[in-house]
Structure 1
């Protein structure tokens, strides 16, 4: 005789629907306030933006109810809200540039089009990927694709340099940043590779200065990741992307092995190339100079972006100048690299902290999925994707506020740009799939009995655990 206690989770799709409606209402309200602030009238394209936002939210709700009914109900509402707020701020920057006779490459309509593409791909991923463990079959294929994507900007015909970094490719008039897609491929590769070798990597090697170093034979993976990060740093002069990829691998190593020594080793290995870049590469050296003293008379002209961004932060104060009332037109790339400065100017310190809290909650949900999922591959994948998002937010906000030097990364879901937005929507789809696997009801074995998982189609479970005597 054995007792099996069945623990089930509620789908909470009604909660997700209400949160999505709330996110759409806030996003559209912000968009309307931008028009009222700039021109004292509601934007003419507000109905089109509203229809698109409502349709996308309904499509996401239906897709999750159909394919991932037990997914975390908070992930998609946060993503939709961030996306719509980004569109509103891009419209504010675009309108300000038009008023003062400046050219703007980004617009709300264009960003909305990229959002539609991203949501369609997210839904397609949820429909086709029923089990996240299928991604583990493509561990080495993901590594090859990621490496090719990462090195594509070095191809002479299609590679192009912007703002000192060669991280873009241009084909038939369309530009794409392949590193955004490469980070997903590498996260899948690292998760698949480390889950099969975590025991070997966790074996303690020699102890130096109180730190257990790994065995020499285990240095191969980290040396390869270090080599790719250095190739990006040296040949593409992109400190931010190289830091993102190398940091992703080191943190996933730590999650897989629970050894603090990997973090110390990773920091030690990345420090000398970073010092070399800061002293020998003009582009990186300029960013270091602007980080240290951007407001001096000697550096002001070359550090205009960060200087004007700081003035925008100061102008925002506590509550902000108001949506559509700021001057983001004076900040170079205010709709992309410095969109956080634009938000802080128009929404103030309160709005800036609200954005950071949204990102914090999104990362927390990714970590929650990583902790709750039953297989090691899913744990590493969810943890890696959550860390990448957290690192990007820290690097971008830290660069704008002069905590660290500028790196050229973009804020997920907020900044203008198709490649970043579409790839981050794919990450959102993967996190939804992982959270569904983590929250899906299953039976727990008690007293040696084996119980089958509770199927998703079963009737609505009771509020408390139900004991069944077998």
Structure 2
């Protein structure tokens, strides 16, 4: 993706200039569209034996959205990473096809969730473009370090407001405005990344100071434990008052990852692990819904279709489906993914595992791995501390969310109820994730841009060479 060249003001190969690679991005986008459009056609053929009647209109709209996003990048972020957008487009297209397949299985009794998801994708791409056009330098976000933190707390509290908050599937994490519902926690996670990055850039030197040494690990000083304790209490508040185990794990894990990356102190991982264990044990004994999730995780078949009490039907039906799918899957239209409750949201990976098999699941995991890898690559080459932490935090959001969701579906960890990024039905999640990708592209664009030519004489040229070497 890069080529060493002699930049102005440098000598030999001391300059390292990234190429724009927009042509490579366009080529990968064509492959991504083939995945989304091909999956949509395969659903129609597998379920009804014919290509969907709206195939041309659907394909044209999906192509228009992805090409529009590409053009925005080409003009306002020409040096941005060329892999992120195609991977996201492939995931989003595959998710639309799977949701459409579940709509067909439900018949006329179901809402057209796929059409609504395409509408949310359109809004997400619009906000993606607005973010890139308006935010020309990610470092401007440092001005809103504490403002974004306050806004995140307000958003997390909104579902608790009487008359505004809504309880769906046992979790009070939604707000309702007329016929529409929205999950403010999806926006809060983005604001928290900005807050954590700005805060840690300013205070990482103090937080990196070592305290008492225990078993070859330098634990942090007691006076520096305030931030992690506050984040721990906020995570427990989300668990207690909103009954949302997934978001609680995501918020605390995100802060712990960014804290460790900024300070490079393993002691913070030890303290965070102890707080997590304490919170998990306390939640298990104090709250029945947490205990039910652990019990279902440990003995799912004991709760399969009970006459009363908690049920593990969702988890067990997903396990049955993935086992039936095997290595290559049953194929679109040949499985029974509708047996899984909420298959188009919480358990969309179960539906993919049944009809596309282990191969399809691994392909999806590789695409998520590419998003995380490209985000961390942007962090590594970023020239400012805030950009490094911002890209690390945004990549960690995807890594943690995918681990928590797929870990729950495969019974690696207890179920948490988060959505699978870009695949699951849900407008608030889809919009937030498109904005996150825009921010990652902005960080990578600024990091990959060639340094300006500031040399006016030999001395300034030597100074610039020194700057390039330090990068």
Check whether TM > 0.5: yes
Quote the residue 1:180 is aligned against. 186
- Secondary structure of the corresponding residue to residue 8 of structure 1: strand
Quote the residue 2:74 is aligned against. 65
Contact 2:10 2:465 in 1 (8 A): no
Separation in 1, partners of 2:44, 2:202: 54
Quote the residue 1:462 is aligned against. none
* Further displaced range: 162-171 or 384-393: 162-171
Distance 1:384 1:297, change over 3 A: closer
Contact 1:3 1:447 in 2 (8 A): no
- Secondary structure of the corresponding residue to residue 407 of structure 1: coil
Quote the residue 1:468 is aligned against. none
1:336 to 2:345 alignment: yes
Quote the residue 2:3 is aligned against. none
Match of 1:252 among 258, 275, 287: 258
Distance 1:372 1:297, change over 3 A: closer
* Further displaced range: 157-166 or 138-147: 157-166
Quote the residue 1:457 is aligned against. none
Quote the residue 1:409 is aligned against. 418
Match of 2:21 among 1, 8, 12: 12
Equivalent residues in 2 for 1:151-166, closer than 5 Å: 151-166=157-172
Contact 2:303 2:312 in 1 (8 A): no
Equivalent residues in 2 for 1:30-429, closer than 5 Å: 30-98=39-107, 103-105=109-111, 107-296=113-302, 302-429=311-438
1:35-89: CA deviations, max 9, x gaps?
1111001112222221111111111111011110000100000001000000000
Separation in 1, partners of 2:331, 2:372: 28
Contact 2:304 2:316 in 1 (8 A): no
Q: Of the two structures, which has the highest relative contact order with CA contacts closer than 8 Å and spacing of 6 or more?
A: 1
Distance 1:329 1:151, change over 3 A: same
Contact 1:13 1:65 in 2 (8 A): yes
Match of 2:464 among 441, 451, 454: 451
- Secondary structure of the corresponding residue to residue 341 of structure 2: coil
Q: Which runs of 5+ in 2 are unaligned?
A: 1-8
Quote the residue 1:24 is aligned against. 33
Offset of residue 324 of structure 1: 2.5
Offset of residue 453 of structure 1: 12
Contact 2:15 2:465 in 1 (8 A): no
Separation in 2, partners of 1:10, 1:187: 29
Separation in 1, partners of 2:127, 2:62: 16
Separation in 2, partners of 1:77, 1:172: 35
Offset of residue 236 of structure 1: 0.9
Separation in 2, partners of 1:295, 1:417: 29
1:440 to 2:446 alignment: no
Quote the residue 1:461 is aligned against. none
Separation in 1, partners of 2:249, 2:341: 24
* Further displaced range: 207-216 or 323-332: 207-216
* Further displaced range: 105-114 or 435-444: 435-444
Contact 1:106 1:335 in 2 (8 A): no
Contact 1:443 1:452 in 2 (8 A): no
Distance 1:89 1:13, change over 3 A: same
- Secondary structure of the corresponding residue to residue 335 of structure 2: coil
1:392-417: CA deviations, max 9, x gaps?
10111110010000000011000000
Separation in 2, partners of 1:94, 1:286: 30
Q: Which runs of 5+ in 1 are unaligned?
A: 455-464, 466-470
* Further displaced range: 310-319 or 282-291: 282-291
Distance 1:298 1:322, change over 3 A: closer
Separation in 2, partners of 1:315, 1:238: 31
